[in-house]
């Protein structure tokens, strides 16, 4: 394959992957605690055998690939006045128990299961410092430090964690996150808990639509480049055959 065609093909593939990220962001614009994924393009420097990270508008005629990173900026807080709803302010996650092991979420829409355990809207048990938190009858209060009380009796302390590279967290669906590096160690998060609120998605729908239009235009331009390159190859082949 012609080197120019290879470069354009890599660009087309990168644009499709970036479009997939945007589509997923827009599909979760109303998902509590959702964090948008930003696309970053990496250019291959053939002379040095290395890769360099560019911005989100690839314009260089070099082979390119796309990578994603989470935007961990806080979303807006929506008041609900519901005692089982909580939102985190700051860099951190709520630890939960899943069949795949410990995972993390920003979706603070909680409830009780049949065992009176505190669980997420997806049914995953919320973890405290000593494991699952069982809620007894009474007025539920979750304070700013994550302490869970019923009628002033401490039931547990929410396990609120962060990581050295929170932007490197990956989404697994169902509002769950996991660190890209399986060896990453969670640390205690310095966050503030707001009871009676839910954190909204931090996706900017208008900005994402504008970015999507830009990607589609670049994709169309690259498709035209492929056509021009193939026509040039055909012309050269015909010229050689005619000699």
CA distances (Å), 126 to each of 3, 37, 135, 176, 242, in order? 53, 25, 11, 12, 75
| pTM (two decimals) | 0.77
For 129, other C-beta atoms within 10 Å of its C-beta total 13
Calculate ∠ Cα 71-72-76, nearest 5°. Answer: 105
Looking at every residue in the chain, the average pLDDT score rounds to: 82
Q: What is the pLDDT of residues 197-208, one digit of tens each?
A: 999 999 999 988
Q: What is the pLDDT of residues 128-140, one digit of tens each?
A: 999 999 999 999 9
Q: What does the domain layout of the chain look like in residue ranges?
A: 3-71+203-241, 77-199
Residue 56 has pLDDT above 60, yes or no: no
Calculate ∠ Cα 104-14-201, nearest 5°. Answer: 35
């Amino acid at each position: 394959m012609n080197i120019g065609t290879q470069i354009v093909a890599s660009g087309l593939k990168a644009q499709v992957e970036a479009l997939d990220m945007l589509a997923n962001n827009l599909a979760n614009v109303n998902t509590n605690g959702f964090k948008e994924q930003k696309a970053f393009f990496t250019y291959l420097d053939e002379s040095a055998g290395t890769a360099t990270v560019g911005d989100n508008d690839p314009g260089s005629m070099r082979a390119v690939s796309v990578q994603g990173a989470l935007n961990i900026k806080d979303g807006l807080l929506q008041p609900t006045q519901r005692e089982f709803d909580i939102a985190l302010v700051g860099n951190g996650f709520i630890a939960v128990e899943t069949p795949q092991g410990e995972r993390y979420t920003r979706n603070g829409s909680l409830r009780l299961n049949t065992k009176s355990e505190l669980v997420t809207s997806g049914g995953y048990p919320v973890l405290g410092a000593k494991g699952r938190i069982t809620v007894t009858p009474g007025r539920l209060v979750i304070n700013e430090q994550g302490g869970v009380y019923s009628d002033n009796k401490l039931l547990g302390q929410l396990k609120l964690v962060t990581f050295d590279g929170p932007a490197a967290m990956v989404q697994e669906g169902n509002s769950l996150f996991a660190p890209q590096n399986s060896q990453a160690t969670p640390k205690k998060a310095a966050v503030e808990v707001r009871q009676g609120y839910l954190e909204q998605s931090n996706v900017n729908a208008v900005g994402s639509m504008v970015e999507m239009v830009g990607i589609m235009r670049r994709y169309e331009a690259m498709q035209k480049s492929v056509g021009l390159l193939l026509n040039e190859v055909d012309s050269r082949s015909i010229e050689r055959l005619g000699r």
